[in-house]
Amino acid sequence: MVGIVGYGAYIPRYRIKVEEIAKVWGADAPSYKKGLMLREKSVPGPDQDVITIAVEAARNAMKRAGISGEKVGAIYVGSESHPYAVKPSGTAVAEVIGAVNDCHCADLSFACKAGSEGMFLAYGLVKSGEVEYAFGIGADTSQGAPGDALEYSAAAGGAAFLMGTKNVVATLDCQYSYMSDTPDFWRREYMHYPRHAGRFTGDMAYFKHVRGGVEGLLKKAGAKPKDFKYIVFHQPNGKFPVRMAKDLGFTDDQVKTGLLVPTLGNTYSGASPLGLSAILDEAKPGDAILMCSFGSGAGSDGFIFTATKALPKVQGKAKKTRDYLDTNPFYLDYGTYVKFRRKIRKNVED
């Protein structure tokens, strides 16, 4: 049976509150908080990027999997904020975990669903027998343009999933993907910040594609909403995934464990993967989990997992998602935040 043999999360320690951003731009914090259902977001430290986050998430997954790095035959890092425009991120992950040199590596991008794409590829390669173990990793340190609505939510974090066939902690029972060519959000080459199509990003993009992904997945699996203990959707804000879940016939109880966005923000490629890692931290053997990502552009990847008897044995082997999210955060003021995020133009040192 193919499934997850190790999983790991990473969220930076720094946070900024909605009020702190709103006061700089003369915006009304309570209406942003209510509109986005989000209180604060994570911020990467000045020495953190997608590579460092992907590495830490992968290390945590390796602690849980308990296998040696040479056995990992493929590594896919999905992100919309890879540190280099040209030069892969996954190669650094491979070096750190000791997967070099006998390994296939590629970076992926598809807005916020780049992480779940990696999971899809890793699953397919393991299932075909091409590799013994493969990593799908989603991580982002996304930027919103200063003053834009996205600045309140664009956050940093990532999660890694090692697929394999031995000592599976969650079987991957069914997969379905849904897509169309929809320009709801994009960033052109050499641009610092992405642009989005405002209200168009809701109904025509997020809701259409998550609905398409979940309904297609349920149909393929012959399953119903009540069959699942946990569900997790892409969470660009607190409102979208909760409304989508309700529309599709899921309950708040199924949503709450994987809903990290109110205090995490939108971690883009890391968002639904981090929700899944938070669920795996708590799930019990036999629990069924439904995950559906969303990436602008646009598409969704849906997965059904079932926790196995092996899961409880690995949950405590690495730091849990909620430990990263809830323990000892460090709150930044807006000035330090823009310094960390390099939004201040300086003279080049000679």
Partner 1 sequence: MLTPAIVRRNTPQRYRMEAAKCAKCGKVFFPPRLICDACKSRTFKPYTLPQEGTVVSHTVIRTAPRGFGDEAPYCMGIVELTDGTRILCQIADCEPERLEIGLKVAIEFRKIQEAGESGVIAYGYKAVPER
Residues within the interface to partner 1 (CB under 8 A): 13-14, 45-49, 51-52, 55-56, 59, 83-84, 92, 95-98, 323-324, 327-328, 330, 339, 348-349
Q: Is 349 a catalytic residue?
A: no
Question: Strand, coil or helix: what is 109?
Answer: coil
Please say which residue, 33 or 320, places its beta carbon nearer to partner 1: 320
**Residue in the block written with tokens 């340190």:** 141
- Could you tell me where the DSSP H helices lie in 18-134? 18-25, 29-36, 50-65, 90-97, 114-128
Nearer to partner 1, 128 or 328 (CB): 328
Shortest approach of partner 1 to residue 276 CB, angstroms?
A: 22
Q: Residue 104 catalytic? A: no
DSSP 259-310: --HHHH-B-GGGHHHHHHHHHHHH--TT-EEEEE--BTEEEEEEEEEEE-TT
Which pair of tokens denotes residue 207?
Answer: 């809701």
Pick the catalytic residue from 56, 80, 132, 151: 80
Q: How far apart are CA 78 and CA 58, in angstroms?
A: 13
Least distance from partner 1 to the Cβ atom of residue 330, Å = 7
Active-site position among 112, 117, 151, 209? 112
* Smallest separation (angstroms) from partner 1 to the CB of 95: 5
Residue number with CB closer to partner 1 (203 or 350):
350
Alpha carbons 131 and 203: distance in angstroms, whole number: 39
Q: Nearer to partner 1 by C-beta: 21 or 97?
A: 97
Edge-to-edge strand list for the sheet holding 230-233: 104-108, 72-78, 133-141, 156-164, 3-10, 170-182, 297-307, 288-292, 230-233
Q: Do residues 118 and 135 make contact, with C-beta atoms less than 8 angstroms apart?
A: yes
117 counts as catalytic:
no
Nearest distance from residue 343's CB to partner 1, in Å? 13
Q: How many residues does the chain have?
A: 350
Closer residue to partner 1, CB minimum distance, 3 or 138: 138
3-class secondary-structure state, position 147: coil
Tell the smallest beta-carbon distance from residue 203 to partner 1 (Å): 39
Catalytic residue numbers? 80, 112, 234
